[in-house]
């Protein structure tokens, strides 16, 4: 029972539910424009009640809500009653209005029917009135057409007789107008061709035209025949002119045949005179062909220029036929006698032909070329260009072969003249003169080839340009790059150095300095002379000019060559060759300056830094480096004044090479003396012999466990001096000071800052270890375990302490645990071995030192120990350096050196 009631209620709700379409709903919304939830189409009673009573507390005002609802319901009921009452009267009014509308439609239909019947009666009356007029109008048209046809027939009949009479008398001036009229009338009567009389008249007209064509052709041949001068029936020029007008009216083949015969007649003499068997037909006399046709055209226009109508273009047709015959004859002659052609003869013929074709372009408009030539021969409509010259295109390889031979001789000439290359004495010598000569020759060849052809010959010329650009780079530029020359000095042997060391034992510093100077002489590497450096700069500037000009050459070739070859024009390989020469020159200059500085860095390793007793001016090796820079860099800068970007590259590459070498040299030094380290036998002997100097140390004496770090202070001073010099390197020795590029300054500041940080780290005390590692990480945050080993070696830290410090450093830098484990001994030996190996490779020491490295190291150690013995004893009491002394040395640097 419950299910039945639920189904009944569901049906009842479905019946009471009103569903409106979207259009109706939008119309209601436009009219009502209500925001009340009860008026919304998607109204949901449950949601509405939940909104009014969201909780149990809101039920307290349910009576007010119900009262408000009842009030709204009563208002709606009143509105509904008003609308219903109003609809009762509205229905009655609608019925009355509908009835009135129906009556109006009935009256309108009757009126329309009456008007239609009256219009039909009026139309019948008009037709009756105009019936006679139409008949008269049709009779008039027929009469007019009949009269016109009779007149045409009369003209045709009378004109045929008249034309026969006039043509027999050769009165072509009087024939012209009747002939044009009869031809037009005959075309009018073609629609009546089935009438026998009309067929007869048309046949007579055709016969007259045929007879006139034959008669005029015979008259032309009779007039221009060589044997017609004594003929009494020969026409006059006036009759000939009228005959040409008549021929223009006749069929086209008549005019075409006359012109063909006449043009062949005009060129008959030319064909015989310049037959291929005649000597005058060869290429060396090709200008006589063109001279003949010029004279002939002048003679023709003087005699018969007024005879032929202007639209016949007889002079142009003669010229076109002359070009066609000339092209064919030249093609046969050149093919038969190809072996006799040299480049001068070929260029002569092509040039004369091109000049003649240009003259024809100026003289004629080229209207007859369309029907006289083919597209293969004439690439451009209306132009005489290549109308004759196309016969030379298959033989342009003769020209490119000659260019190949000329360029070969030119490069050989440049190479031989360049064997004794002398750089001009000017500060900025510019470029090699033969370089400009080469590109002037290239330009001449390109312009010349453009006049010949811009297709395959031009592409062959591009390949030649590429070949000889590489030849010039190899045989002229690269072949003359100077090679370093060994210094012409007499060096002392190691034995003489040892004897000097033992002989002058009393003056230890002088002896040690002389020994080091002798070692440096033995290790000098080949250097460039000032003239060689100027040659390198000379070649570099020339290669730069070539590089820029090759780019311009490539652009111009792509502009001039035919479109099908543009993608094949590529000189990038040749530009790479000149890029390589420039890079090689810069690298040679950098290597030369590097070699000069390596001697100073070698001197730096011979100084006993741990024995320095006081900090003074910058060291000798710094002065030597500055001297080398002032001797070398100004020469390079002055000779690269017009290649400023490559001079900047030179400075960049030099500091990028020098600064790492300087840092590697620092790692090889031992600038501190630790109290815990055991002294060598020689140092102990000297210390005991000079014990009295310990008391003279005064403030420099300290605890036995301290160390001397004055060497670090001196190194810091020297490093700052080098940094200042390198910052001013681009303008060194110049009266005009320029600010160096920002990129260059960044490289110098970063590299030399690392060197300063290394020295400051070495100056720090290693105890306590945690504080030392903390300071190390602050000063060198991007360091590695290998560098940490090197710095501990610089501080002369014992192996056991090194192992402990390395472990502490690894614990402070967990990211280093990913690196492969390295023991202290192997890491230290690898670091030292790597640095010494790099130094040996970069400094390019001669085999006399490298072959006896053990003996050289022993002598260097002895010299360092002896020269610094006194200062080492005085510095044994120094305490470890603290931050206050670092600040002191920085102030000393600022006071002594300019920023």
Per-residue pLDDT tens digits for 763-780: 888 888 888 888 888 888
> How many Å apart are CA 728 and CA 746, to the nearest integer?
13
Band the pLDDT of 441: cuts 50, 70, 90.
very high
pLDDT at 862 over 80: no
> How many Å apart are CA 518 and CA 592, to the nearest integer?
21
What is the reported pLDDT for 472?
92
CA 706 vs CA 676, 686, 700, 766, 767: distances in Å? 8, 19, 11, 11, 11
Phi, psi of 485 (to 5 degrees): -105, 135
Band the pLDDT of 4: cuts 50, 70, 90.
very low
Query: Cβ of 67: how many Cβ atoms within 10 Å?
Result: 11
Residue range 697-719, pLDDT digits in tens: 333 333 223 456 788 888 889 89
Band the pLDDT of 313: cuts 50, 70, 90.
confident
Asked if residue 665 lies in contact with residue 832, where contact means CB atoms within 8 angstroms, the answer is: no
Please name the residue that has the structure tokens 């010349």. 448
Q: Which of 339, 479, 459, 491 is nearest to 419 (CA)?
A: 479
Q: Tell me if the pTM is above 0.85.
A: no
Residue range 491-534, pLDDT digits in tens: 333 344 444 333 343 344 444 444 444 444 444 567 788 888 88
Residue range 473-490, pLDDT digits in tens: 999 998 888 887 655 443
Query: Cβ of 367: how many Cβ atoms within 10 Å?
Result: 14
Residue range 410-428, pLDDT digits in tens: 999 888 877 766 777 666 6
Band the pLDDT of 238: cuts 50, 70, 90.
confident
Written as one string, the DSSP assignment of 777-797 is HHH-TT--HHHHHHHHHHTT-
Asked if residue 489 lies in contact with residue 521, where contact means CB atoms within 8 angstroms, the answer is: yes
- Residue 198 region by backbone torsions, left for phi larger than 0, else alpha for psi between -120 and 50, else beta: alpha
Band the pLDDT of 544: cuts 50, 70, 90.
very high
Written as one string, the DSSP assignment of 177-224 is HHHHHHHHHHHHGGGGTTSHHHHHHHHHHHHHHHHHHHHHHHHHHHHH
Written as one string, the DSSP assignment of 694-751 is HHHTGGG---TT-EE-HHHHHHHHHHHHHHHHHHTGGGTT-SS--PPPHHHHHHHHHH
In degrees, rounded to 5, the angle at the alpha carbon of residue 840 between the alpha carbons of residues 838 and 846 is 160
What is the reported pLDDT for 546?
93
> How many Å apart are CA 131 and CA 642, to the nearest integer?
106
pLDDT, average across residues 631-649:
88
Domain coordinates of the chain in residue numbers?
A: 177-225+234-374+381-394, 398-484+525-586, 607-670+707-742, 764-814
| Burial of residue 491 (number of CB atoms within 10 Å: 0-12, 13-18, 19+) | middle
What is the reported pLDDT for 832?
33
Question: What's the fold here for domain 398-484+525-586?
Answer: Tetracycline Repressor; domain 2 (1.10.357)
Task: Reduce the DSSP state of residue 343 to 3 states and report it.
Answer: helix
Band the pLDDT of 649: cuts 50, 70, 90.
very high
Read off the tokens for 629.
Answer: 């820079």
pLDDT at 277 over 60: yes
End-to-end Cα distance, the chain: 110
Residue range 161-187, pLDDT digits in tens: 666 666 666 666 666 666 666 666 666
pLDDT over 90 percentage in the chain: 14
């Amino acid at each position: 029972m419950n299910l039945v009631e639920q189904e009944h209620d569901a049906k009842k709700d479905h019946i009471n539910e009103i569903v409106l379409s979207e259009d109706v709903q939008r119309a209601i919304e436009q009219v009502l424009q209500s925001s009340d939830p009860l008026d919304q189409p998607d109204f949901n009673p449950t949601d509405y009640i939940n909104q009014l009573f969201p909780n149990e507390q809101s039920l307290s005002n349910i009576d007010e809500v119900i009262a408000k609802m009842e009030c709204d319901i009563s208002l709606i009921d009143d509105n509904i009653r008003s609308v219903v009452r109003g609809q009762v009267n509205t229905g009655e009014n609608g019925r009355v209005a509908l009835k009135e509308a129906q009556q109006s439609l009935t009256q309108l239909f009757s009126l329309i029917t009456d008007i239609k019947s009256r219009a039909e009666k009026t139309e019948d009356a008009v037709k009756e009135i105009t019936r006679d007029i139409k008949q008269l109008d049709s009779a008039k048209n027929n009469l007019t057409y009949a009269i016109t046809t009779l007149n045409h027939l009369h003209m045709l009949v009378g004109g045929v007789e008249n034309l026969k009479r006039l043509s027999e008398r050769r009165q072509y001036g009087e024939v012209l107008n009747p002939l044009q009229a009869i031809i037009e009338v005959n075309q009018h009567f073609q629609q009546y061709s089935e009438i026998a009389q009309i067929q007869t008249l048309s046949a007579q007209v055709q016969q007259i035209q045929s007879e006139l064509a034959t008669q005029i052709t015979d008259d032309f041949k009779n007039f221009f025949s060589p044997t017609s001068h004594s003929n009494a029936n020969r026409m006059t020029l006036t009759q000939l002119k009228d005959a040409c007008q008549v021929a223009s009216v006749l069929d086209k083949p008549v005019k075409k045949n006359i012109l063909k015969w006449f043009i062949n007649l005009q060129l008959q003499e030319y064909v015989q005179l310049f037959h291929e068997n005649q000597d005058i037909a060869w290429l060396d006399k090709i200008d006589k062909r063109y001279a003949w046709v010029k004279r002939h055209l002048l003679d023709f226009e003087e005699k018969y220029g007024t005879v032929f109508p202007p639209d016949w273009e007889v002079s142009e047709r003669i010229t076109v036929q002359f070009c066609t015959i000339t092209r064919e004859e030249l093609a046969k002659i050149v093919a038969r006698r190809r072996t006799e052609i040299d480049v001068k003869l070929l260029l002569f013929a092509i040039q004369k032909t091109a000049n003649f074709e240009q003259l024809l372009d100026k003289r004629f408009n080229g209207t007859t070329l369309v029907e006289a030539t083919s597209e293969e021969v004439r690439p451009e409509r209306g132009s005489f260009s290549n109308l004759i010259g196309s016969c030379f295109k298959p033989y342009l390889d003769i020209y490119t072969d000659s260019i190949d031979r000329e360029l070969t001789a030119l490069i050989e000439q440049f190479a031989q003249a360049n064997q004794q290359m002398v750089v001009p004495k000017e500060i900025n010598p510019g470029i090699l003169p033969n370089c400009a000569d080469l590109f002037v020759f290239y330009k001449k060849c390109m312009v010349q080839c453009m006049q010949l052809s811009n297709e395959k010959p031009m592409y062959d010329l591009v390949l030649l340009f590429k070949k000889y650009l590489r030849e010039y780079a190899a045989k002229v530029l690269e072949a003359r790059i100077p090679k370093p020359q060994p210094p012409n000095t007499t060096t002392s042997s190691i034995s003489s150095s040892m004897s000097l060391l033992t002989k002058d034992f009393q003056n230890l510093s002088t002896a040690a300095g002389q020994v080091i100077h002798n070692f440096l002489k033995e290790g000098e590497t080949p250097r460039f002379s000032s003239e060689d450096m100027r040659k390198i700069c000379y070649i570099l500037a020339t290669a730069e000019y070539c590089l820029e000009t090759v780019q311009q050459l490539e652009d111009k070739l792509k502009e001039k060559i035919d479109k099908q070859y543009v993608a094949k024009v590529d000189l990038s390989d040749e530009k790479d060759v000149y890029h390589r020469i420039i890079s090689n020159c810069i690298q040679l200059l950098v290597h030369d300056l590097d070699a000069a500085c390596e001697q100073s860095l070698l001197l730096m390793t011979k100084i006993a830094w741990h024995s320095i007793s006081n900090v003074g001016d910058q060291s000798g090796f710094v002065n030597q480096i500055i001297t080398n820079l002032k001797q070398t860099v100004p020469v390079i800068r002055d000779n690269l004044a017009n290649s400023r970007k490559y001079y900047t590259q030179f400075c960049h590459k030099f500091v990028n090479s020098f600064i790492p070498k300087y840092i590697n040299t620092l790692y090889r030094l031992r600038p501190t003396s630790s109290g815990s380290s055991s002294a060598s036998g020689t140092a102990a002997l000297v210390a005991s012999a000079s014990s009295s100097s310990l008391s003279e140390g005064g403030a420099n004496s300290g605890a036995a466990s301290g160390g001397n770090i004055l060497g670090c202070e001196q190194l810091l001073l020297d490093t700052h001096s080098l940094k200042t010099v390198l910052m001013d390197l681009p303008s060194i020795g110049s009266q005009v000071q320029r600010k160096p590029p920002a990129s260059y300054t960044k490289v110098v500041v970063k590299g030399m800052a690392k060197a300063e940080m290394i020295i400051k780290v070495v100056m720090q005390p290693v105890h306590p270890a945690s504080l030392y590692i903390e300071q190390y990480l602050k000063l060198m945050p991007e360091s590695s375990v290998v560098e940490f080993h090197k710095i501990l070696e610089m501080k002369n830290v014992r192996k056991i302490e090194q192992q402990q410090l390395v472990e502490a450093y690894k614990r402070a830098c967990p990211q280093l645990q990913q690196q492969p484990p390295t023991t202290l001994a192997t890491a230290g030996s690898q670091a030292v071995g790597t640095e010494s190996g790099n130094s040996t490779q970069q400094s390019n020491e001669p085999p006399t030192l490298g072959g006896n490295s053990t003996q050289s190291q022993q002598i260097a150690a002895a010299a360092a120990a002896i020269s610094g013995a006194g200062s080492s004893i005085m510095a044994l009491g120094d305490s470890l350096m603290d931050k206050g002394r670092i600040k002191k040395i920085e102030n000393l640097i600022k006071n002594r050196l300019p920023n």
